[in-house]
Amino acid sequence: MICLGFEGTAHTFGVGVVNSEGKVLANESEVYVPEEGGIHPREAAQMHNKNARKILDAALERAKIGSEDVDLVAFSQGPGLGSCLRTVATAARALSVSLEVPILGVNHCVAHVEIGRLMEGARDPVTLYVSGGNTQVIAYDGGRYRIFGETLDMALGNCLDTFARKLGLSHPGGPKIEKLAEESDNLIELPYSVKGMDLSFSGLLTESIRRYRDEGIDLEDLAHSLQETAFATLTEVTERAVAHTEKDEVMLVGGVAANRRLREMIRLMAEEHGAELFVPPMEFCADNGAMIGWTGILAHKAGLKQRIEDTHIQQRWRTDEVEIPWRD
């Protein structure tokens, strides 16, 4: 079976081609980068619409298949930005009807976990998923992926990007903050907010911006302190989940997984608990169509089906609302 996976929850429009043996035949994408400020949902959706055919054709060419070889269409049904989700859902529906093949909507967060498990061979990890739009600690139990901790306000990737933007740095801000942070080891005290098993980054962001503007603290020192504080909260909550579940695998996914300091902190924590750390290649940590295609195949093989009229988008589709019949 060959599945065509469409990703389009935010800034990335991706098309992946995956077969039922877990081989990624193609994984093409186009990323919207705003001229200024953060992501503008309508502009991102317009870019997705403009590039959809080009990316689809590139994926089919890379996979060396024709549209007649496609057996299933999967798409990111949520969570995400409404205008972007609608654009991708419309493209997926049109292709499903045209090719007369089944269609399945996939949860974006679950797809990050499943492509990570596929690429790294992880069996049953505690997953730290950190991106521009999501921050969650996830582990499988009782037929669903349970959220053991999550942000109560903004995702960490959004926090880093907003901080960089307020300082006049271009989007995306995360890599630029990381580079600045590497130039300092001077830790400045900033708000450390862990509330039970959940996290909050809005106060950390506000105080970091205030101290830069009002106190003139060196940018390198502030970037280092922001990273250390935020990553420490992530590590604490992930460690609690590992201790509670007694799982012996930890996986780091999402765009922020590219940060070397975060990887180091999670690796040290995992080692202390006798757990193995898995980090998929960055191509599959970032938003991509292959993860949607693979999760679509898993769902289809488990017997899940959808009618076209049931493929409406779900902007706030929570990870723990999704039944996972392909795992035992």
Q: What is the mean pLDDT of residues 182-211?
A: 96
Write the DSSP assignment of 149-205 as a string of letters.
Answer: EEBSS--HHHHHHHHHHHTTPPSP-HHHHHHHHTT---PPP----EETTEE--HHHH
- The pLDDT value given to residue 33: 87
- The pLDDT value given to residue 34: 83
- The pLDDT value given to residue 170: 80
- The pLDDT value given to residue 62: 98
Binding-site residue numbers are: 108, 112, 129-133, 161, 174, 178, 259, 287
Binding-site residue numbers for Fe cation are: 108, 112, 129, 287
| Residue partners of 243: CB distance under 8 A and separation at least 6 | 273
User: Is residue 37 scored above 80 in pLDDT?
Assistant: no
The Cα–Cα gap between 292 and 117 comes to: 13
Q: What is the mean pLDDT of residues 309-316?
A: 96
Q: What is the pLDDT of residues 207-227, one digit of tens each?
A: 999 999 999 889 999 999 999
72 DSSP β-pair partners: 3
Structural domains of the chain ordered from first start: 2-113+284-310 (3.30.420.40), 125-281 (3.30.420.40)
Q: What is the pLDDT of residues 276-306, one digit of tens each?
A: 999 999 999 999 999 999 999 999 999 999 9
Binding-site residue numbers for substrate are: 129-133, 161, 174, 178, 259
